[in-house]
Chains A and B, each alone.
Chain A
Amino acid sequence: MADPEDFAGQTPAWCPGCGNFNILKAFKAAMIRLELKPDQLVLVSGIGQASKLPHYTAGNIFNGLHGRPLPVATAIRLANHDMRVVAVAGDGDCYGEGGNHFLHAMRRNVNVKLFVHDNQIYGLTKGQASPTSQAGMVTKSQPFGVLLEPLNPIALAVAMDAGFAARAYAGDVQFLTEMMAAAMQHRGFALIDILQPCVTFNRLNTFRWYHERVYRLGPDHDPGDREAAFRLALEQEKIPTGVIYRHKRPLLEDQIPVIAGKEPLVHQPFSPKAVEKELEAFY
C-alpha cells in the first residue's frame, strides 16, 4: 500500500485559497490510489503557478521552460518507456506559448498525461488574459476587453482525435481524482483540462461562478461517441465535466521498431564496435 507521506513535497508558494491546492490534493490521491511510487514517475512542467506543482509533491522532476513541457515529456517516454510521465502546465503555458507542441503531442499519441490547470488568466505575471479567457474580459493588458475568442481545448482535442480528453473542475476533488486515475490508466496521450478559479486575478470565473455551471457527466454519456463528445465540448450555458472523449489509438512507442515491445532505449546495450562496419560503405 502506498504511503501518503511518499508524495509529500515542499511547502506550496501559491496564494491562499488557490484552486491549485485542490489539484495537488487530487494528484496525490490519484497516485496513492494507483499505488505508484515517486521514483516511477517523471513530472515535467513548464513555467507558471501550475508548473510549480511537481515541487510540492514527489517524483523525478524536470521543470523546464514556459510552453515546453510536452516535447521534453515526449522524449523522456521515448528514451524510457518504463517511466510514467506526467506533464503539468497552465493554460498560458500549454495553449499559448506551447500551442504547437500541444497540437503535435495529440498527433503523436505518446503515453504522456497532460494535466492543464486552466484558470483563464495569467497569474504569475499578475492578471493578463490567457488563451482561454472569455471574450470581453477586461484586464490590465486588455483595457478594451479580450477581443479574441477563447480557445476551446476539449473541442480541439476531439477534433484532433486525442485518445483521452477530459474536463475537470478543481472544486470537485473527488471527481478530479477519478479522472486523473483514469488518465494514468489510459494507454496513450491523455488531456485533463482542469478548470480552476484564480482567487487573486480572475474575478469573473470564481468558485461561485463555477458552482453554478459545472456538472458531472453521468454514465449516459458514451466517451466513444465523437459527435456527442464534440457537442459536449461546445456546451456554453452549463459546463460538463468528466471524460468527454476516449478513443484507443496506436501508441507512438509501439510503432517505433527500436523500442516497440523491447526494453527501454536507455537500457539497450551500446557497443561502438558494432557500428564500425558502417565505415565500409564509404570505401
Chain B
Amino acid sequence: MFSPLANWKINAMDYSIKIGGQAGQGIQTISSALAKALVRSGCYVFTHQDYMSRIRGGHNFNQIRFSDRPVSSSRSKVDMLVALDQNTVNIHHGDLNAGGLVAYDSGAIGQKLDGPDFLDVPWRQIATDVAGSRLMENAAAAGAVMGMLGMDAGPLTELLSQMFLRKGQEIGDKNVAAARAGHKFAMDNCPTCAYSVPAGKNGPRRMLIEGASAVGLGALMSGCRFYAAYPMTPSTGVLNFMAAKSKQYSLVVEQAEDEIGAINMAIGASYAGVRAMTGTAGGGFALMVEGLSLAGMTETPVVIFIGQRPAPATGLPTRTEQGDLLFLLNASHGEFPRVIMAPGTPEQAFYLTNKAFDLAEKFQVPALILFDTYLTDAEWTVDGLDAARLKYTDYRLRAGDLEGLKQYKRHAFTGTGVTPLAEPGASPHLVVTDSDEHDEEGHIIEDAATRTRMVEKRLLKKLPLLRQEMEPPLFYGPQKAEILLAGWGSTYGVMKEAVDVLRERHNLAMMHWSEIWPFPGTDKVDYPARLRAAGRTLCVENNATSQFAQLLLSQTGYQFTDRVNKYDGRPFLLDELVEKVEALIG
C-alpha cells in the first residue's frame, strides 16, 4: 500500500519522544518540563498521555511530538524512547523509527541492555552525584534528552528554576544542576545521536496548554464564581484548576457528595445570582440528568463540563471515547432548550467555554461543554489566547436595575421568551421559581392554557434565537474538495493533519463541528451543499456507531458516504487515520 507518511518528515523536522514507566515514577514531570522547554526553544509541540486507572505501578506513557511547523496529533512511531522501567522497553522497543534510540538508566532498571539503539544514561547516579539526591533524577533524565537532541540546555534549566521556585532556591538549583549534568553526559556520550533540531535558544513566545486548563481559564475569565463537582476522570483536572484559583479570584469551589448534589448546587448558586458551573464525566452526567431538566424548567443558567470516557458503566476510566454525544443531546425528561459545545482544541475550548457562559446567561438555559479524556489531557502549542475576544455581559437585574420597578414576575411572558433574571434579596421584589409547571410569578399551576404558553416561552421562542448564535462547521482545505473528512470535537487536530498529508495526493478537505446544539443553521454557510458537492465524505468518530453521522442525517437529511470509527479507548493517531482514509479512498 502507498504510504504517504513514509517520507513525511523529509519536508520538515518531525520528532516524537515516548516517555514510559510506572504510575508514580515521574513521567508527567519529565514530560511537562521537556514539552515546555521545546516550546521555549521555538518548536511546535503536541503531547498526549496514556495511563492506567491506578495510582502506582502498571504501565503509563506520555508522548511528545515536536516540529518546526504546527502539530496537532500523535504519531504511531517514535524517534526516542525514554524508558523508566524494563517494561517500557519490552512494550515499546518496536515503536522506534529507524535511527531511533532508547534512553534508559541501567542503574535504575537493574541491567545493561545491549544493542546499537540503546543509550545508558545513569541519571540516578548523576542526580546523586551533583545534587546529592535521587529526587532530581527526572531532571537529569530531561537534561539528557535535550542533550541527545543536540539542543541547548538553557530553556530547560530556566524552566526548572521557575517550576521549583515555590519549593525554594536550593531545590531549584539542585534540579538545574542535575539537568545540566544529564545534558552534558548525553552530549559527551552519544555518538549515535543524529537528531537534527535547530538549536534555537529563544523561540517566539508561545503557550503550551491542555484542554482542562483552557476550560478553567475560559470559565474564570467568563466570571464563573461557583464550581461544584464530584471528582471523576477526566473532569477532575477542571475541579483542581478551579480550586487552585479560587482564593485569588473569589470563586467558591465545593466538592459535592455526589453529582446530583453538584448540579443542584450549581443551580442554587446561579439562582442566587452568580455564574455557576459543574463538571463530570459521562457516568456522573447520567446522575445529573434530573438536575439538567430542573435548570431547563426553572430557566436557571448553568454550565456543565462533561468529559467523555469509554463506557458503558465504568468502562475504561482513564481512556478516551466520543460515545456520549447523543446522550447529551437527548438527556432529560421533558423538552427544553440546551446548548452543546464540543471544542476540538484547547484554543476553541477557551473561547467556547466563554460562549457557553454567555449563552447560558443570555437565554437562561443549561450550556454543556462536551469534552473527552484525550482533549482534556493533550497539550497543544498555541500562539496566544486573546482575552479581548471574550464576552462578559451581566444580563441579570441587580439592585440598581430593580430600583423603582413596579412589579417583577420571574417568568413573565416576553417576546423572546427570555425574562430578565433578578437577584433574590436585591430588592423587595420576590424571585419565585418552581420545578412544577408555574405561572408568570413562578407559582405552581396545572391549567392547560398557562402550560401551553410556558412551553412556548421557554422552548419554542428561545430555540430559533439560540440557533442563530451557533456557528457553522469550520472548513479547512480547498474550496472544491472532492473528498471531505468530517468530524466533531477532539478529532479536529488529527483530521487537520491528515488533510495536510493526504492533500499531496488527493483533492481533500476537512469539515469540523465544534458548536453542536442547537444544530447550526445553513444561512451562514450552506454546508450540506458542500457535502453534497463532494464525491466522498468520511465521518471520523472515536465511537462505534457514528453518532454525529446520525445527528447530521436527522438534521439535514445528508448521509455521509463513509464512516471511520475507532472504539478501543485510544485516540486516533495520525498515521493510523491516514492509513484508514487512504484504504477507503486510495
Residues of A at the B interface (CB closer than 8 Å) are 10, 37-40, 42, 44, 47, 52, 55, 58-65, 68, 70-76, 78-80, 82-83, 100-101, 103-104, 256-259, 265-266, 268, 270, 272-276, 278-279, 282-283
Contact = CB atoms under 8 A, between A and B. Distances in A.
B368 interface: no
A101 B268 contact: no
B392 A100 contact: no
B288 to A, nearest CB: 11
A72 B252 contact: no
B250 A265 contact: yes
A273 B264 CA distance: 30
B261 A76 contact: no
Interface of B: 205-209, 213, 217, 220-223, 225-226, 228, 245-247, 249-252, 254, 256-258, 260-262, 264-269, 271-274, 276, 290-291, 294, 298, 382, 384-385, 387, 390, 392, 423-425, 427-436, 442-444
Given A55-B444, A75-B264, A258-B246, A83 B252 contact: no
A283 B381 CA distance: 9
A273 B387 contact: yes
B264 A42 contact: no
Contacts of A82: 425
B390 to A, nearest CB: 6
A278 B252 contact: no
A47 B213 CA distance: 38
B36 to A, nearest CB: 9
Contact of A65 (B264, B271, B273, B432): B264
Contact of B432 (A61, A70, A100, A101): A61
Nearest to B385: A279
Given A68-B264, A257-B247, A62 B423 contact: no
Contacts of A55: 432, 434, 443-444
A208 B425 CA distance: 42
A243 B271 CA distance: 32
B104 to A, nearest CB: 31
Contact of A258 (B209, B250, B269): B250
A65 B206 contact: no
A173 to B, nearest CB: 25
Contacts of A266: 225, 272-274, 423
Nearest to A81: B272
Nearest to A266: B273
Given A79-B226, A282-B208, A71 B261 contact: yes
A75 B387 contact: no
12 contacts: A38-B430, A39-B429, A40-B425, A42-B272, A61-B434, A64-B264, A71-B265, A75-B228, A82-B425, A101-B264, A266-B274, A279-B387
B425 A39 contact: yes
B249 A274 contact: yes
Contacts of A71: 228, 256, 260-262, 264-265, 268
A90 to B, nearest CB: 15
A61 B442 contact: yes
A65 B291 contact: yes
A103 B258 CA distance: 12
Given A63-B433, A272-B392, A275-B220, A39 B428 contact: yes
A282 to B, nearest CB: 4
Across the A-B interface, give the 6 residue pairs with the lowest CB-CB distance, nearest first: A75-B268, A72-B268, A79-B272, A71-B264, A60-B424, A75-B265
B435 A74 contact: no
Contact of B431 (A40, A60, A278): A60
A58 B225 CA distance: 28
Contacts of B424: 39, 42, 60, 76, 80, 83
B252 A63 contact: no
B435 A65 contact: yes
A274 B442 CA distance: 37
A128 to B, nearest CB: 20
Contact of A279 (B207, B223, B256, B257): B207
B221 A275 contact: yes
Nearest to B40: A283
B423 to A, nearest CB: 6
Nearest to B241: A278
Contact of A268 (B207, B250, B429): B250
Given A61-B442, A279-B385, A282-B208, A72 B434 contact: no
A104 B257 contact: yes
Nearest to B272: A79
Nearest to B427: A39
A70 to B, nearest CB: 8
A268 B398 CA distance: 13
B492 to A, nearest CB: 19
B271 A72 contact: yes
B390 A60 contact: no
Contacts of A282: 207-209, 213, 382
A74 B246 CA distance: 18
Nearest to B428: A39
Contact of A283 (B206, B266, B387, B443): B206
A4 to B, nearest CB: 17
A83 B272 contact: yes
A258 to B, nearest CB: 5
Contacts of A58: 430
